[in-house]
Amino acid sequence: MTVDTTVTVRVPAKVNLQLAVGPRREDGFHALVNVFHAVSLFDEVTVKAASPRQPRALAALTATGQSESHLARVPLDETNLAARAAALLAEETGSGFPVDIHLDKHIPVAGGMAGGSADAAAALVACDRLWGCGLSRERLLDLAARLGSDVAFGLVGDTAVGTGRGELLDPMASPARYRWVFALSTRGLSTADVFGEYDRLRPDAPDPRLDPALEKALADGDAEALGRSLSNDLQPAALSLLPELQRTLDAGRSAGAIGALVSGSGPTCAFLIGGGGEDAAVVAEREAGVVAALRATGLCEQVVAADGDVPGTTVL
Ligand code: C5P
């Protein structure tokens, strides 16, 4: 039997097609209906057996990525969710040896696209493989849910609805592929701060419900209808904390995006460009117009295009 000494796992970012936020629960979390959609912006997480020469912490982290400002927001200590994933797996299985975890980041950091959660999902899968734990998918999903509300979705990918605090996942029928453009901000927003602002703005939040129009648009593969049904209850809170995001959303919409919203708790803004049965040349032209308009605002650190949906964690 060969034993892996290095495992690399690729994991996608998510955008929320609907984020319905209910009242704050007794445990401090909010009841959610969260429609996750995995898109082709990927982090790669590499886990390697550490040199056995000296005793050291279970996980030592390093990170690379295209954006210095985003990398500066990645904690490289035991608070990083990827390190916490390794620690939880070791604790639960009684196995594990010291590892070096390298994060190659392409998902925006503190950007509302679940980058930290994605890295945790990838670290779970990579350590499970490297340490030979062989956990079932069910147990991995259970550990993921304990790490954070968005971690389990990284394992699953595609399009799924999350209930509870977002961690209880059911797949959603979504046969078509869509093209997206994402406007990355130079700033990050703390998820907890955005939920706090939501509580201030919406003390009377109703129980969250899945939007049947969104469900139908996805099942039909109807890009125009999907664009009309995108919704995010956290958007007013994110705009309240970073008002300039409204100009970014307006610029993309005016340039022809068929849908626009803040992704999750922001500040990344997501623009639906097209897809389903639409002509590829028409979609490409629309994308070029939206990208140019967003760049011209001078408000975006980067503007990137991606496809959705895509599968969850993949061992490379
Ligand atoms: O679960 P996760 O660690 O990703 O959550 C980050 C923060 O977002 C929580 O500490 C909480 O403030 C907020 N949150 C919430 N309700 C949820 C999910 C997250 O209030 N359902």
Which pLDDT tens digit goes with each residue over 88-141?
A: 999 999 989 999 999 999 999 989 999 999 999 999 999 999 999 999 999 999
With CA atoms as reference, report the closest residue to 180 among 117, 114, 274, 255. 274
Q: Is the CB of 192 inside a 6 Å radius of any atom of ligand 1?
A: yes
Catalytic residues, by residue number, are 14, 150
What confidence tens digit (pLDDT) does each residue in 205-248 have?
A: 999 999 999 999 999 999 999 999 999 999 999 999 999 999 99
pLDDT score for 3: 64
Instruction: Give distance in angstroms: CA of 112 to centre of ligand 1.
Output: 12
pLDDT score for 55: 67
Is residue 108 marked as binding?
yes
With CA atoms as reference, report the closest residue to 218 among 254, 182, 149, 272. 272
Q: Is the CB of 32 inside a 6 Å radius of any atom of ligand 1?
A: yes
Is residue 1 marked as binding?
no
Is residue 117 marked as binding?
yes
pLDDT score for 52: 73
Q: Which of 149, 161, 198 to mutate to test the pocket of ligand 1 (most atoms within 8 A of CB)?
A: 149
| Domains defined along the chain, listed by start | 6-171 (3.30.230.10), 178-308 (3.30.70.890)
Instruction: Give distance in angstroms: CA of 154 to centre of ligand 1.
Output: 16
With CA atoms as reference, report the closest residue to 95 among 130, 60, 144. 130
pLDDT score for 4: 74
With CA atoms as reference, report the closest residue to 269 among 260, 280, 256. 260
> Which ligand 1 atom lies nearest to the CA of residue 30?
16
pLDDT score for 54: 64
> Which ligand 1 atom lies nearest to the CA of residue 31?
21
The maximal CA–CA distance of the chain, rounded, in angstroms, is 59
Hey, what amino acid is at 167? E
pLDDT score for 187: 85
What confidence tens digit (pLDDT) does each residue in 71-90 have?
A: 999 999 999 999 999 999 99
**For atom 15 of ligand 1, which residue has the closest CA?**
29
pLDDT score for 22: 97
What confidence tens digit (pLDDT) does each residue in 277-286 have?
A: 899 999 999 9
Specify whether the CB–CB gap between 112 and 146 falls below 8 A. no
**For atom 9 of ligand 1, which residue has the closest CA?**
192
Cα distances (Å, whole numbers) of residue 89 to 41, 141, 154: 26, 12, 16
pLDDT score for 87: 97
Evaluate if residue 2 carries a pLDDT over 60. Answer: no
Is residue 256 marked as binding?
no
> Which ligand 1 atom lies nearest to the CA of residue 195?
20
Evaluate if residue 307 carries a pLDDT over 60. Answer: yes
> Which ligand 1 atom lies nearest to the CA of residue 149?
1
CA distance 255 to 294: 9
